[in-house]
Structure 1
Amino acid sequence: MDVTHKHRIRRVGMLLTSTIIAAGLGIFPASPAHAVANSDIVPNGQFRFAVKLTMTGIPTANGGRRNSACSGALIAPQWIVTAGHCFRDFNGVRVERPVADLTTATVGRADLTTDIGHVATIIAVRQSPTTDLALAKLSFPITDIRPLALNHRRPRAGDVLRITGFGSLTSSNPVPSPQLRTGQVTVVTVTEPSVGVTALAPAPDTSACPYDSGAPYFMEHGEGNPTLVSVESGGPSCPHSLEERTSRVDNIAHWIKDIIRG
């Protein structure tokens, strides 16, 4: 197993076996990230589309159970977007179903110690056929939070994006953050399935960490609505100033809309 793959595995929503935090779920084709290392705290009421996914009782190859977490975003009243590898069996294969005994989505709650927002159960999953991205259906529609709109144009090098996530603050002994955090990155590469980004602010090594898998990267438009450009997929151990790989949205926007409508 090469070093890059090890880093990816370490970041994949980091599994917890009993009370022991294991080194992640692995990835397709990358691994998760933490609560955005070296980032800013988001107060309740801001970026209300942000989602914390909590998975309890994920089956393991030895017959046991583990817990994990990912980040995401509300993109329709009853659908969220996250990383595809957040839903996979113990062989590392992405699947179109919740893999845990219980998977919940906390929406509209930046400070998880409060009780605002909503908590819904994930009842269905749809995997993108081209990239590390999945759509997850909520047990009920959320109508008092504006979903994050989809980006429809090809990202360009130099674009500035914002990330929000509930991941850890470091890859060392990672623990999910109880507070939503945010930072800015710059687009450096664009391929058919992915968007590569590097840190911009508030620090030169602001970066996603374990449990940030599926965190949204979105473009802000002044007073206009932000648009989702990609979601966190994987990268080096955090914090880091290297390139992070994210799963592109604009070229699968029609597929996403078909799932939501259907």
Structure 2
Amino acid sequence: MDVTHQHRIRRAGLLLSSTIIAAGLGIFSAGPANAVANSEIVPNGQYEFAVKLTMTGIPTADGGRRNSACSGALIAPQWIVTAGHCFRDFNGVRVERPVADLTTATVGRADLTTDIGHVATVIAVRQSPTTDLALAKLSFPIKGIKPLALSRKAPNVGDVLRITGFGSVTSSSPVPSPQLRTGQVTVVAVTAPSVGVTGLAPSPDTSACPYDSGAPYFTEHGKGHPTLVSVESGGPSCPHSLEERTSRVDNIADWIKQIIRG
């Protein structure tokens, strides 16, 4: 977590550095299969564009290593979107490169204990110049999964969005989840860089947690055509019923398309 902003929990979370043996081995402590506080389980086959990012061996300021995780979404066959702060150096500066020894993206696998879907390596990163959002290029194009479309118009206060993420269920001793979970939120504020949301369903305190950084917030139109509105950036300790900050997509959609097209 971002200890410099204790009232705004950075959703990338933080595993202990390799000066502690368990973290050095990449071992996550045991925990329940939860993600997105007070949410619902997503079965395999739904929201296949959802992405779990796993970072192994991130350098620390003391010369050690730590492991971490983020969430994201497939927006083109070889590109995913996530939070910009998921790729930052040990000084907290966002960078345009993978920072870990290995960063993998698991796509199309809601239950991480199964072997469906795809696992690719992140080979490049591009940071948004205006908001906490990054694009990550995969080592190969993902086939058989429809990417999440980008919104081209600003959201309105009162809009209902859905979030999917692989984060913890709580800010207390958080661990990444082996199971994708989902909930709904309501838009309460819109600014140039961000969209503010609060929990709606299944509970008023349905909210993002550590390791949900980069999780997509999207609209649903009937049974098809979900559209990306924003990605998770940060908020209070979860679960909570306060405003969560997310990074807006519609006003940088042209930039995103330029990066994807190369």
Partner residue in 2 for 1:253: 253
- The alpha-carbon deviation at position 204 of structure 1 amounts to 1.1
**Cα 1:139–1:20, aligned 2, differ >3 Å: closer, same or farther?**
closer
Query: Structure 1 residue 92 and structure 2 residue 88: aligned?
Result: no
Distance 2:119 2:3 in 1: 37
Pair 1:36 & 2:32 matched: no
Q: Which position in structure 1 is the counterpart of 2:184?
A: 184
Contact 1:52 1:107 in 2 (8 A): yes
Question: Which amino acid letter does the alignment assign opposite residue 182 of structure 1?
Answer: T
Instruction: Pick which of 34-43 and 85-94 moved more.
Output: 34-43
Runs of 4 or more above 6 Å deviation:
none
Q: How far is the alpha carbon of 1:6 from its aligned partner? A: 1.3
Matches for 1:15-30 after TM superposition, within 5 Å: 15-18=15-18, 19-20=22-23
Query: 8 Å contact 1:184–1:202 — kept in the other structure?
Result: yes
Per the alignment, residue 128 of structure 1 pairs with 128
Q: 1:81: which partner in 2?
A: 81
SS of the equivalent of 1:35 reads coil
Structure 2 match to 1:50? 50
**Structure 1 residue 223, shift from structure 2 partner:** 2.7
**Equivalent residues of 2:209, 2:237 under 8 A apart:** yes
| Cα drift, residue 3 of structure 1 | 8.6
Contact 2:17-2:66 at 8 Å conserved across structures: yes
Deviation at 1:48, TM superposition (A): 0.1
Deviations 1:125-161 (A, max 9, x none): 0000000000000000012100000001111000000
Mind listing any 5+ residue stretches in structure 2 that lack a counterpart?
A: 25-33
Contact persistence 2:23–2:66 (CA under 8 A): no
In structure 1, the residue matched to 2:29 is: none
8 Å CA contact 2:158, 2:188 repeated in 1? yes
| C-alpha distance in 2 between matches for 1:87 and 1:5 | 18
Structure 1 residue 86: deviation in Å? 0.1
Q: Root-mean-square deviation (CA), in Å? A: 1.6
- How big is each residue's C-alpha offset from its partner over 1:59-81, in whole Å with a ceiling of 9 and x where there is no partner? 00010000000000000000000
Give ranges in structure 1 of 5+ residues lacking alignment. 22-33
Residue 25 of structure 1 is matched in structure 2 by none
**Partner SS state of residue 258, structure 2:** helix
User: Shift of the alpha carbon at 1:13?
Assistant: 2.8
1:93-134 C-alpha deviation (Å, 9 max, x unpaired): 000000000000000000000000000000000000000000
Distance 1:149 1:10, change over 3 A: closer
Structure 1 contact 11–237 (Cα < 8 Å) conserved: no
The TM-score normalised by the length of structure 2 is 0.92
Report the alpha carbon displacement of residue 4 of structure 1 after superposing the two structures with TM.
8.2
Instruction: Report the 3-state secondary structure (helix = DSSP H, G, I; strand = E; otherwise coil) of the residue aligned with 1:254.
Output: helix
Instruction: Tell me how far apart the structure 2 counterparts of residues 201 and 233 of structure 1 sit (CA, whole Å).
Output: 20
CA separation of 1:255 and 1:10: change in aligned 2, threshold 3 A: closer
Given the alignment of the two structures, is residue 172 of structure 1 paired with residue 172 of structure 2, yes or no?
yes
CA distance in 2, matches of 1:245, 1:4: 17
Within 5 Å, give how 1:225-240 maps onto structure 2.
225-240=225-240
What TM-score comes out, normalization by structure 1 length?
A: 0.92
Tell me the CA shift for residue 35 of structure 1. 1.9
- Structure 1 residues 30-82: Cα deviation after superposition (integer angstroms, max 9, x where no partner): xxxx8200000000000000000000000000100000000000000000000
Find the residue that maps to 1:207 and give its secondary structure.
Answer: coil
